[in-house]
Every structure is written in structure tokens, then in C-alpha cells.
């Protein structure tokens, strides 16, 4: 989820209030997946668990932030530090990202990071979202998403940044950049990543409608690469990793960079402007009001 | 149909005469679909009929210019004015484009606009073709093409500028940018629109061969999104519109713009040059001679 | 095969030695297809045989350089001269490229052109590889690849530069840019050609893994356009050519140029830098050592 809309389009901003309150029902009647509130956990238990098998050179990164691995600033910071550590460790050649939470891979950005926060804090948050994308999309490691649950919005973005996507073949799960359904807009680098994955026309329709795809639909359009029964997602990821690691690292890395560099360069050379746009949008009174109403609605659902 | 060829390629121009006369038989033995002559209608009956359902916020635009809705200057002007009126009316959120003519959606540009006309008039005509594309491709409304008949050349372009395409599942109908079959060339923005719709390789082969696709072929390559029985095209379009209108307008509009703006900017910043190229090509003696021969052949067929 | 890696990535170079020696077994247990050594033939028998049917305007170019049509400097020079001659002959409108060798279309670049050669010679070789691609990719003739055998690396590139690809439906054959499997990297214009053919995501995975596809897999992803029984490859190519030649030449040529020019311009404006990069990479001690070991391994296999 991005909440970054073209600031120049004034109508979007003024129209968001009513849309946010009225459109949550479009999300297939499920728990709204884009804007999630993290159950605050005052403990300092880690949100990311990394198991590194030195002998195989493969790390498995479990996202374990209940209930739905929403991407808070703390979560993203911890995730980025973990990825960077593995990246620096030359003995680590492969990274599998998965979830320890039932039914969900990651539900996307944490709405609480955008509500009632100072512009400075909002900017810090957005920078962390960018950082997560940059780190994984440009990683020298082989990155495999073991998508063992729903993966909307920011969760879908994280999946798309990997080299390969294996999803649980459970029709109750879904994946997609569904921001539009909530009256908000995926930023250009979310869009670029999706175009690189499924092509221009599929992305156009997906973003215009904020589509969430079932696993079989996602396979058909190429949003994921493989479906397996739910209990085989991680083992299949491990087996797939072995095949990828049989390829000479450096040739694979250069090939990957050749494919992704133009997209990465586009964000890195516009990073500050992208943050500024996000902060300027998210701190508007009208948007904050929308978020307030949305949070109230979530409270009532839980009550 | 464009008749705009790269003027720098001299061979094209000199080669067109014989090609035009010899290649019409390649058009699958059907009535030539690209270059059509409009049965002149001296009445001032409107070529475009708009029914706007204020309560639903949806307009249905019927093209009703016998026999084949060919795109003349008058037709295009009327169409552009209609689209602009709806665009300005904030209560209109969706536009369905269809044909009231049997068996044809639109047969493409009107050859009579290019034959024996002054450069000024030719330029005016080409500007109207650009305007039609610009207006629909960048529309803030949800645009659905209800393709209830054949849709070659300019008709295919018009379909591709919409957000969604529903075609009658009748194997006698066809759709495609078939300009090449007549020895002429789709201009760059026709090409860009097709690449955005079906990808690079499919467009390359489609344009090199001037391919016309059957509905099922068109569905397979993604040139249309859905096939339905002929008598259900409009009702399906109406139902589909309801789904699209459930999406928050502004987020959808910004997403659409994000996908299409680079392609639109390319024409708007080259519009005058594009007109100049077209006029310079179409007013050449050799091309006018080709058009003359083509028209003579059409007369004989009718006779 | 290119052996041109991003020189800036130092790790690639140092890592190549062990990779080359260890990874050859990844090539599906077949005869390594990327780096081939040409059985030196001291005779001056032509490596390219051209049969031009003046009445039909179609030339058939047989590659006949035993054992596997590897692309040596001599081979490429002869091929380029042949293509240029046909290109200049206005009566020649179509070119079919095929192999007279059993089981192989072309096995790619000749390793002997890169081992123990002076920088000048290496540069001359690379220039010839570029020239082959430029000549075929921008040809005004209709070009059809009649792929009657395996077509890895440079062989796959040559196939992709044609307008249409017909492959023998023999599951023992394969096609793909498999450079990565040998620890080397396809240069940007190999990559661009593949993206134009099969799209971004398929190319990304193909290049990261150095994938070789079976004919049916290649058809599925669009790397080839048609499969036919082995003994019908050439006759089908001839029949297909007839259909293509029914299209007016100049309109087809302009359409083709419109699709390919940006990709061609990218190499032509970076040609010297691309040669320099290749030479600088290939003449490094570490790479020469790798090639030496690779050649020793090939000798043992033959022994």
C-alpha cells in the first residue's frame, strides 16, 4: 500500500475521504488487506527470524510479526538490517523469504505509521519502504519468495522483488497490488516492478481495478511462478534454491543487474522527491481524516 | 488506417501504386476494410448517438454512420465533441462505445478524406484522428469498447484506446491493424498503443503482416479481453461497467494516467511533425494516383 | 556466447576459472553448446552455401561448417558477405537460414577465436559478431530461421534476429541463451533482442539461469513461432515465406524498422565501447586461464 498519489491531481485528495469509507467492502468481503493495524507488541521480540545454513549457503527469513506481518517502520528496519547482514556475508548465496504467521505472507504497509505522525517520521517510514525494495530487488543473493498465505499490496511488492515466487495453492489466498480499491495509488516503482513481472497490459488492468488474484489466476498471468500444496511451499523453495545455486553466481548476478538496473536507477535518482511526495500527500488534513475514519471502522469490526 | 509512411523511405512511396492495386486481394477476400468510402449522406443526421443514463453515470455512444462507420472528418469531429461533453460532465463516469451498424464496429479512416483534398484539409483530418485517440486514451471515464462487428485499422485503434474490450464471438468478424496489407503503415502511436496492449513481439508480427485476427485469436493474444455471444455484447459491457465503477474514480484515474502518460506525451510533443509527415506523404502524386486506382476498383466491385 | 561480462564487476572475472571447470555438467549432460571448438578445416571450402531462386525472389542460406556451425571469424565474415550480397540484390525479397549439419542449427561462438588471440584479433572477431546481428536484425528481406537442430547461445541469437522461427519438433534439440551456465554473460543487445521476443520476465529468468528450452517449451514462451516434424522444417519455411511475400514489401519493411530501430540504434551508438569491453574482458589472464582449462576438458571428452 502506498498512499502516494499524484499530488498534482487535486481531485484525488479531496475525493479520498468518502472513498476510503465506502470502498472497503470491495476488498472481496475479506479482512481489508491493504491498510492493516499491527497489534502493538511492547516486547522487543524480533519480528524477523533468520536461520542461516552455512553449509548450504542458504538463509531462511521468517516474518513473525503477529498478526499479519504488517510492514511497520520497526519491521522494515529489522528486515533491512537482516538482509544487509546476509548480503555482506559472502558465504550466504541464497535467501528464502517466508511467513511464520498462519494464512498470510504479509498484509502490506502498517497504517499506524501514517496516521498522526510528524512529517519527519512519515518520511523516515517511506524511506524504509524504499530501502526494503532496493535491498531485495538488487540483491546479489538468489531470492525466493515462499508465499504461504495472502500477499496483498506491500506483501505483493515484496514477493515481486524476489527472483522466483512459489505460492501455496489455496484458493482462499490472494495476491496483488490492490491499493486502488482503497482509493490510494501504487507509486511508480511498484508499477515498474509489476510491469517487469507481468507486462504492461496486465499491470494496467491490475492497477486500474486494484485486482487481487487467486493463486491459479496469479500463476496464469505470471505474477507467481509455481503453485504447490500449502505444506510443501518451503520444501519446494529449498529444492528450487539448490537448482539456482548450481548456476555460477557472478554471471547470474550480472544478468540480474542488467535486467533490473534501469528500474532501480529510476528510484534511486528520484528517491528524495518520492519521499517528499509521499509525506506531502499523507500529512494532508483530508487524508488524515480518511485514515481516522478507516481506523474507526476497523475498530468496530474487531469489536 | 494511416497512410503515414516514413517519408524518408522513398521506396515506399514509389512502390505504393502497384501495391495498392495488387494487394487488395490479401484482405482475406472480404470487403477491403482499411480504406472505405462513406456513402455520402447529405442529411445532417447525427453520426453519433449518445444515451446518457444520469442515474448510473454511464453513457452509451452508438456509432451510426452507414454503412460502416468510417472515420471521416465530420464523424471524428462529432465523436470528439461528444466525448468532450461527457468528459466535462462530472456526473458521467463511464463510457461504452458501440456500433448501431450491422456486422461492423468501425471500418477505419475514410479514404475520401485523403483523396483530392488540399494539404490544409488533409492536415485538419489527421489532427482529428489524433484528437480522437488522445481524447479516449487519456479519458478520466471508464471506457469500454462493445465491439459488435469487425474492427479493422482505425476501428481497432479506437478499440485499443478503451480500458476494456468485449467482442462478439462471431468468427466472421475480425480485428487488427491491417494497414500493411494495403501498402501503407500504421504511425508510431498506433504501434505504441498496440505494444501496450499485446506486447512487442505480437505487435511486430501483426504490423509486419497487417494481421486481422478472428475474435478467438484476438482473445488469445490479448487484443480483446472477453468474448460473448453477439446479442450479449452490450449487456455484458453494461454489467462490466458496474464493476469498474465500484472502484474509487480518482485512484483508478491516476493509475491509468501513470500507465498511459508516456505514450500520450510522445504524440502530444510530436503532434505537428506527425501531421506534417502525414500531409506530405498523402498529397504526393504517386499516392494520390494509388488512391484513385483503389477507388476505381471499389466502384467496379459495387457495380 | 559472449564472454562479455560487466568489467566493473571484478568478482565475475576472478570467479570464472572455477566456474567454467565446474559448471559444464549443468548443460543438461549434453555436449557443451556454448563454447565450441571448430574442427579446423584447412580447405577453403565455403562455410555458407547460398541457393537463390530468382523466380521466387527467395534465397536459402545453408550453414555448412562441420561439425556444429560454430561462429568463427571466417564463418561470420562469409555469412555477412552473403547476407549483404542478397540485401543489395533487389530481386531477393526473402532469406531462409538453415543448417546442413545434422542435429545442430548453430552451436554459437567459436571459443578458439577468444583463446590466445591478440586484442586486435579479438576486437575484429567481436565486430563480426555485431555485424552479423546488425545485418540480419535490420534486413529489408523477410528472414525466416529454419531451425533444424539445437540452437544455443549465438545460434539462438541468430534465430531471434529473424522475422519468423520454425523449429524441428524434436525433444532432443534445445534453444536458448545459456551463456550464464558457463559463468559468462550475454551482452546487452543479446538481452534486448530476447526481451523484444519473449518479454522482460521470461528473459530475466532465462538469463539468470542460462536456460535451454525444448522445442515445446520454446513455443510456449514465444521463443519460436512454430514447430513441425524435422523433415518438414525447410518446406514449411518455404511455404511461410510465400505468405510473407504476399505483403507489400515497403510497408512491411517500414513496420519492421519501426519496431526494431531503437534496439539497433542502441548498439550502433555504443559499438566501439561494446568491442572495447569485450576485448578488455576476454584478454584478462584469469579468463584466458579459464578458457585453457575448458579446452583441456573438451579434449579429454573427445579423447
Q: Which of B151, B153, B197 is nearest to B175 (CA)?
A: B151
Contact B144, B237 (CB under 8 A): yes
The CA–CA distances, whole Å, from B118 to A19, A45, B16, B39, B40 equal 52, 79, 20, 21, 19
Read off the DSSP letter of residue C159: H
Average of per-residue pLDDT values in chain C:
87
Does C251 contact B12 at a Cβ distance shorter than 8 Å?
Answer: yes
Whether residue B188 lies within 8 A of chain C, CB to CB, comes out as yes
Chain C residues near residue A243 by CB distance under 8 angstroms = 209
Q: How far is the alpha carbon of B223 from chain A, nearest alpha carbon, in Å?
A: 10
As a whole number of angstroms, the distance between CA A8 and CA B101 comes to 42
> How many interface pairs between B and C have CB atoms less than 8 angstroms apart?
91
Whether residue A4 lies within 8 A of chain B, CB to CB, comes out as no
Chain A residues near residue C188 by CB distance under 8 angstroms = 258
Residue B173 in grid coordinates: 468478424
Does A185 contact B258 at a Cβ distance shorter than 8 Å?
Answer: yes
Does C256 contact B6 at a Cβ distance shorter than 8 Å?
Answer: no
DSSP-derived 3-state class of residue C152: strand
Phi/psi of residue C147, each to 5°? -85, 90
Residue B177 annotated among the catalytic residues of the structure: no
Read off the DSSP letter of residue A138: T
Whether residue C247 lies within 8 A of chain B, CB to CB, comes out as yes
Tell me the pLDDT of chain B (303 aa) as tens digits.
333 333 223 222 222 322 333 333 333 333 334 444 444 444 568 999 999 999 999 999 999 999 999 999 999 999 999 999 999 999 999 999 999 999 999 999 998 998 999 999 999 999 999 999 999 999 999 999 999 999 999 999 999 999 999 999 999 999 999 989 888 889 999 999 999 999 999 999 999 999 999 999 999 999 999 999 999 999 999 999 999 999 999 899 999 999 999 999 999 999 999 999 999 988 988 878 878 887 888 888 876
How sure is the predictor about A303, in pLDDT bands with cuts at 50, 70 and 90? low
Of C154, C155, C176, C210, the active-site residue reads: C154
* pLDDT score of C257: 98
**Helix (H) and strand (E) counts in chain A:** 11, 8
Unique residue bearing C-alpha cell 575448458: C294
In sequence order, what E strands does chain B have?
Answer: 48-53, 58-63, 94-99, 142-147, 151-152, 164-168, 175-176, 226-228
* pLDDT score of A299: 86
Chain A residues near residue B249 by CB distance under 8 angstroms = 15, 19
Mean pLDDT of C144-165: 98
DSSP-derived 3-state class of residue B172: coil
Contact C49, C98 (CB under 8 A): no
Chain A residues near residue B196 by CB distance under 8 angstroms = 200-201, 204
Whether residue C6 lies within 8 A of chain A, CB to CB, comes out as yes
Does C259 contact B6 at a Cβ distance shorter than 8 Å?
Answer: no
Q: Are strands C142-147 and C164-168 parallel, antiparallel or unpaired?
A: parallel
- The answer to whether the Cα torsion of C123, C162, C226, B205 is positive or negative is positive
Phi/psi of residue B75, each to 5°? -60, -50
Angle at Cα B177 formed by Cα B171 and Cα B181, nearest 5°? 95
Q: Which residue of A has its CA nearest to B197?
A: A201
Does C185 contact A244 at a Cβ distance shorter than 8 Å?
Answer: no
Angle at Cα C296 formed by Cα C295 and Cα C300, nearest 5°? 115
Q: How far is the alpha carbon of A73 from chain B, nearest alpha carbon, in Å?
A: 25
Residue C78 annotated among the catalytic residues of the structure: no
Does C180 contact A255 at a Cβ distance shorter than 8 Å?
Answer: yes
Torsion of CA C36, C40, C43, C45, to 10 degrees: 0
Contact B98, B61 (CB under 8 A): yes
Question: Is pLDDT at C78 greater than 70 in this prediction?
Answer: yes
As a whole number of angstroms, the distance between CA B203 and CA B221 comes to 10
How sure is the predictor about C286, in pLDDT bands with cuts at 50, 70 and 90? confident
Does A184 contact B252 at a Cβ distance shorter than 8 Å?
Answer: no
What per-residue string of b and e applies to B65-103 under the rule 16 or more CB within 10 Å gives b?
beebbbbbbbbbbbbbebbeebbeeeebbbbbbbbebeb
* pLDDT score of C39: 43
Question: Is pLDDT at A10 greater than 50 in this prediction?
Answer: no
Task: Say if residue C229 is exposed, middle or buried (CB neighbours under 10 Å; 0-12, 13-18, 19+).
Answer: exposed
As a whole number of angstroms, the distance between CA C15 and CA A115 comes to 49
Mean pLDDT of C94-120: 95
pLDDT (tens digit per residue) in A153-179: 999 999 999 999 999 999 999 999 998
Instruction: Tell me how far apart the terminal alpha carbons of chain A are, to the nearest angstrom.
Output: 25
Phi/psi of residue C104, each to 5°? -140, 135
How sure is the predictor about C23, in pLDDT bands with cuts at 50, 70 and 90? very low
Chain A residues near residue B257 by CB distance under 8 angstroms = 6, 9
Q: Are strands C94-99 and C58-63 parallel, antiparallel or unpaired?
A: parallel
Q: Are strands A164-168 and A142-147 parallel, antiparallel or unpaired?
A: parallel
Contact B163, C230 (CB under 8 A): no
Residue with the bigger pLDDT between A151 and B299: it is A151
As a whole number of angstroms, the distance between CA A33 and CA A22 comes to 15
Phi/psi of residue C229, each to 5°? -55, 150
What H or E segment, with its residue span, contains residue A192? helix A188-198
pLDDT (tens digit per residue) in A83-139: 999 999 999 999 999 999 999 999 999 989 989 999 999 999 999 999 999 999 999
Question: Is pLDDT at A38 greater than 50 in this prediction?
Answer: no
Question: Is pLDDT at C193 greater than 60 in this prediction?
Answer: yes
Portion 14-53 of C in contact with B at CB < 8 A: none
DSSP result, C65-100: -TTT--B-HHHHHHHHHHHHHHHH-TT--EEEEEES
pLDDT (tens digit per residue) in A226-255: 999 999 999 999 999 999 999 999 899 999
As a whole number of angstroms, the distance between CA A148 and CA A146 comes to 6
Read off the DSSP letter of residue C132: H
As a whole number of angstroms, the distance between CA A274 and CA A279 comes to 9
Contact A212, A28 (CB under 8 A): yes
* pLDDT score of A32: 38
Q: Under 8 Å CB-to-CB from B30, ≥6 apart: which residues?
A: B174
DSSP result, C258-273: HHHHHHHHHHHTTHHH
Q: Are strands B226-228 and B164-168 parallel, antiparallel or unpaired?
A: parallel
Out of A23, A183, A188, the one facing B258 most closely (by C-beta) is A188
Task: Say if residue A276 is exposed, middle or buried (CB neighbours under 10 Å; 0-12, 13-18, 19+).
Answer: middle
Half-sphere exposure of C26 (CA within 13 A, CB side): 23
Unique residue bearing C-alpha cell 475474435: B215
What per-residue string of b and e applies to B109-133 under the rule 16 or more CB within 10 Å gives b?
bbbbbbbebeeeebbbbbbbbbbbb
* pLDDT score of B1: 36
pLDDT (tens digit per residue) in A170-225: 999 999 999 898 888 899 999 999 999 999 999 999 999 999 999 999 999 999 99
Residue C51 in grid coordinates: 541457393
* pLDDT score of C303: 66
- The answer to whether the Cα torsion of A34, A40, A43, A44 is positive or negative is positive
* pLDDT score of C299: 86
DSSP-derived 3-state class of residue B61: strand
Q: Which residue of A has its CA nearest to C201?
A: A197
Chain C residues near residue A139 by CB distance under 8 angstroms = none
pLDDT (tens digit per residue) in A49-70: 999 999 999 999 999 999 999 9
Does C23 contact A246 at a Cβ distance shorter than 8 Å?
Answer: yes
Chain A residues near residue C210 by CB distance under 8 angstroms = 247, 251
DSSP-derived 3-state class of residue B151: strand
Q: How far is the alpha carbon of C277 from chain A, nearest alpha carbon, in Å?
A: 14
Question: Is pLDDT at C30 greater than 50 in this prediction?
Answer: no
Question: Is pLDDT at A25 greater than 50 in this prediction?
Answer: no
Half-sphere exposure of A180 (CA within 13 A, CB side): 29
DSSP-derived 3-state class of residue C175: strand
Does A200 contact B246 at a Cβ distance shorter than 8 Å?
Answer: no
Does C12 contact A254 at a Cβ distance shorter than 8 Å?
Answer: yes
Contact C178, C212 (CB under 8 A): yes
Residue C227 annotated among the catalytic residues of the structure: no
Out of C164, C255, C257, the one facing B180 most closely (by C-beta) is C255
Read off the DSSP letter of residue A167: E
Torsion of CA C293, C294, C295, C296, to 10 degrees: 50
Q: Which of C214, C244, C41, C240 is nearest to C141 (CA)?
A: C244
Residue A190 in grid coordinates: 511498484
Q: How far is the alpha carbon of C252 from chain B, nearest alpha carbon, in Å?
A: 5
> How many interface pairs between A and B have CB atoms less than 8 angstroms apart?
91
Q: Is there a cis peptide before residue C67, judged by omega within 30 degrees of 0?
A: yes
As a whole number of angstroms, the distance between CA C121 and CA C109 comes to 15
DSSP result, A30-75: SS--SSB------S---SEEEEEETTTTEEEEEE--TTT--B-HHH
Q: Under 8 Å CB-to-CB from B122, ≥6 apart: which residues?
A: B113, B114, B278, B279, B282, B283
Residues in chain B: 303
Chain C residues near residue B5 by CB distance under 8 angstroms = 250-251, 254
As a whole number of angstroms, the distance between CA B296 and CA B284 comes to 18
Q: Under 8 Å CB-to-CB from C142, ≥6 apart: which residues?
A: C93, C94, C95, C163, C164, C241, C244, C245, C252
What per-residue string of b and e applies to C14-48 under the rule 16 or more CB within 10 Å gives b?
ebbbebbeebbebbeeebbbbbbbbeeeeeeeebb
Mean pLDDT of C268-273: 98
As a whole number of angstroms, the distance between CA B296 and CA A19 comes to 58
Question: Is pLDDT at C114 greater than 60 in this prediction?
Answer: yes
Mean pLDDT of C170-191: 93
Question: Is pLDDT at C41 greater than 70 in this prediction?
Answer: no
Phi/psi of residue C51, each to 5°? -115, 115
* pLDDT score of B303: 67
Amino acid at each position: 500500500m502506498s498512499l502516494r498519489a499524484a499530488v498534482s491531481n487535486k481531485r484525488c485528495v479531496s475525493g479520498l475521504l468518502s472513498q476510503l469509507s465506502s470502498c472497503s467492502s470491495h476488498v472481496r468481503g475479506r479482512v481489508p488487506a491493504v491498510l492493516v493495524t499491527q497489534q502493538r507488541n511492547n516486547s522487543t521480540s524480533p519480528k524477523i527470524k533468520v536461520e542461516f545454513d552455512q553449509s548450504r549457503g542458504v538463509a531462511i527469513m521468517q516474518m513473525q510479526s503477529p498478526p499479519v506481518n504488517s510492514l511497520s517502520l520497526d519491521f522494515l528496519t529489522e528486515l533491512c538490517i537482516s538482509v544487509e547482514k546476509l548480503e555482506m556475508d559472502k558465504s550466504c548465496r541464497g535467501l528464502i523469504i517466508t511467513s511464520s504467521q498462519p494464512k498470510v505472507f504479509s498484509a502490506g504497509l502498517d497504517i499506524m505509521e501514517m496516521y498522526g505522525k510528524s512529517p519527519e517520521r512519515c518520511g523516515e517510514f517511506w524511506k524504509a519502504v524504499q530501502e526494503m525494495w532496493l535491498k531485495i530487488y538488487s540483491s546479489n543473493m538468489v531470492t525466493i519468495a515462499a508465499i504461504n498465505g495472502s500477499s496483498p499490496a506491500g506483501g505483493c511488492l515484496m514477493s515481486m522483488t524476489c527472483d522466483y515466487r512459489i505460492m501455496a495453492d489455496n484458493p482462499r489466498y490472494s495476491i496483488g497490488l490492490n491499493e486502488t480499491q482503497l482509493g490510494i495509488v501504487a507509486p511508480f516503482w511498484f508499477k515498474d516492478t509489476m510491469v517487469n513481472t507481468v507486462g504492461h497490459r496486465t499491470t494496467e488492468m491490475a492497477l486500474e481495478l486494484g485486482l487481487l488474484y487467486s493463486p491459479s489466476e496469479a500463476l496464469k498471468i505470471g505474477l507467481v511462478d509455481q503453485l504447490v500444496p500449502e505444506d510443501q511451499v518451503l520444501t519446494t523453495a529449498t529444492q528450487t534454491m539448490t537448482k539456482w545455486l548450481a548456476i555460477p553466481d557472478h554471471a547470474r548476478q550480472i544478468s540480474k543487474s542488467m535486467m533490473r538496473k534501469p528500474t532501480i536507477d529510476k528510484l534511486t535518482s528520484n528517491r528524495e522527491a518520492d519521499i517528499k511526495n509521499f509525506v506531502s500527500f499523507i500529512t494532508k488534513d483530508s487524508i488524515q481524516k480518511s485514515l481516522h475514519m478507516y481506523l474507526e471502522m476497523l475498530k468496530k469490526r474487531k469489536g
